[in-house]
Homo-oligomer: A and B are copies of this chain.
Amino acid sequence: MKEFTIAPDPSARNLSESMQGVDHTGAAITLPVVVEKPLTLFLNGQEIVTMMTIGDYPEYLAIGYLLNQNMLQTDDIIAGVDYDDDLGVVVVRTDHETNFEDKLKKKTQTSGCAQGTVFGDVMEKFEEIELDPAAVLKTSWIYALSRKINRQPSLYLTAGAIHGCVLCEGDVPLVYMEDVGRHNAIDKIAGYMWRHKISPKAKIFYTTGRLTSEMVIKTVQMQIPIVISRSGFTAWGVDLARQSGLTLIGRAKGKRFVCLSGAERLIYDIDPDQVPEESTKHQRKASR
């Protein structure tokens, strides 16, 4: 796959709105603001959930959500996905019958930026998954990925108030998804990986969001062995990462980072003092 096979399109008119207001001097200003709209997901005849999303890639979002919630298995046959922009509805159809009445009754709302739901049996599967033991993470990749991702045009740089998640391999960012909820961004990546049969082996998952229990659970569910975040951790997120052997890198800004799980995958191949300052500047400029 080539670098940024999928990348944000900040110029896409339907993803942000130009809005008028006043600034700290009282001057009239106009600025781009990311859209946020409801998308209701049906699996066959059954309404599953309504998600708030920027609305790009509804098919990937729908499939990825169902996969990460264990409502679809990777070997399930999807007969079709229908999306109606006006109604804000996406319907996923499978060959086999599905019914999640009981499952839908028992939801756990997850933390902070995660905002998703986790079902009991997701944890059961979580405990069975073994992550790629051969995967490694060169520290030079952490810096290269941060630099490339922060340089890439995005809604985050133009409008802010949005999360980004990037599927990477080595020092190459492959699939860059943004959404108002980072759980949507990671679900869209899961849907893309399923649709294009991309193996999670040796993959690296980069996120702008905090490393909460939900982000760790979804990453392990996707069988990706390494996560890098610009943000911090929650204790349960770290505990789950350690249980599953996930390499967890947080607070990755400029030359700094912290690894709280799976440090055995780290290869220190670069002197941090040789990391170009630039990447930090980009991050600061992007901070909104």
Instruction: Please name the residue on chain B nearest to A251 by beta carbon.
Output: B288
Nearest-neighbour CB distance to chain B for A185, whole angstroms, equals: 10
Residue in A17, A105, A180 whose Cβ sees the most chain B Cβ within 10 Å: A180
Instruction: Please name the residue on chain B nearest to A139 by beta carbon.
Output: B24
The answer to whether B231 touches A52 (Cβ under 8 A) is: no
The segment from A25-33, A56-64, A199-207 found at the interface with B is A25-33
Interface residues of A in 149-163 (CB under 8 A from B): 159-163
Pick from B19, B180, B213: contact of A36, CB under 8 Å: B213
Interface on chain A toward B: helix, strand, loop, or mixed SS?
Answer: mixed
Contacts of A231 in B (CB 8 A): 160-161, 288
Nearest-neighbour CB distance to chain B for A53, whole angstroms, equals: 8
Asked if A51 CB lies within 8 Å of chain B CBs, one says yes
Asked if A104 CB lies within 8 Å of chain B CBs, one says yes
C-alpha gap A162/B163 in the complex (Å)? 16
The answer to whether A52 touches B110 (Cβ under 8 A) is: yes
C-alpha gap A287/B251 in the complex (Å)? 10
C-alpha gap A186/B214 in the complex (Å)? 21
Contacts of A108 in B (CB 8 A): 38, 50, 52
Residue in A22, A26, A233, A259 whose Cβ sees the most chain B Cβ within 10 Å: A233
Chain A 233-248: CB-based contact to B (< 8 A → 1; otherwise 0)? 1111110000000000
Asked if A212 CB lies within 8 Å of chain B CBs, one says yes
Copies of the protein in its oligomer: 2
* A235 and B116 in contact, given A49-B107, A52-B213, A180-B111 (Cβ under 8 angstroms): no
The answer to whether A263 touches B21 (Cβ under 8 A) is: yes
Asked if A85 CB lies within 8 Å of chain B CBs, one says no
Contacts of A162 in B (CB 8 A): 112
Q: Which of under 10, 10 to 19, 20 to 34, or 35 or more describes the interface residues of A?
A: 35 or more
Nearest-neighbour CB distance to chain B for A17, whole angstroms, equals: 4
The answer to whether B272 touches A180 (Cβ under 8 A) is: no
Asked if A89 CB lies within 8 Å of chain B CBs, one says no
Contacts of A114 in B (CB 8 A): 52, 115, 181
The answer to whether B272 touches A237 (Cβ under 8 A) is: no
Nearest-neighbour CB distance to chain B for A112, whole angstroms, equals: 5
C-alpha gap A25/B263 in the complex (Å)? 12
Asked if A257 CB lies within 8 Å of chain B CBs, one says yes
Interface residues of A in 234-288 (CB under 8 A from B): 234-238, 251, 255-261, 263, 266, 268, 272, 284, 287-288
C-alpha gap A210/B52 in the complex (Å)? 14
The answer to whether B111 touches A181 (Cβ under 8 A) is: yes
The answer to whether A238 touches B19 (Cβ under 8 A) is: yes
9 smallest CB-CB distances across A and B, nearest first, come from A115-B115, A161-B232, A36-B234, A52-B111, A21-B260, A160-B232, A111-B180, A50-B108, A17-B235
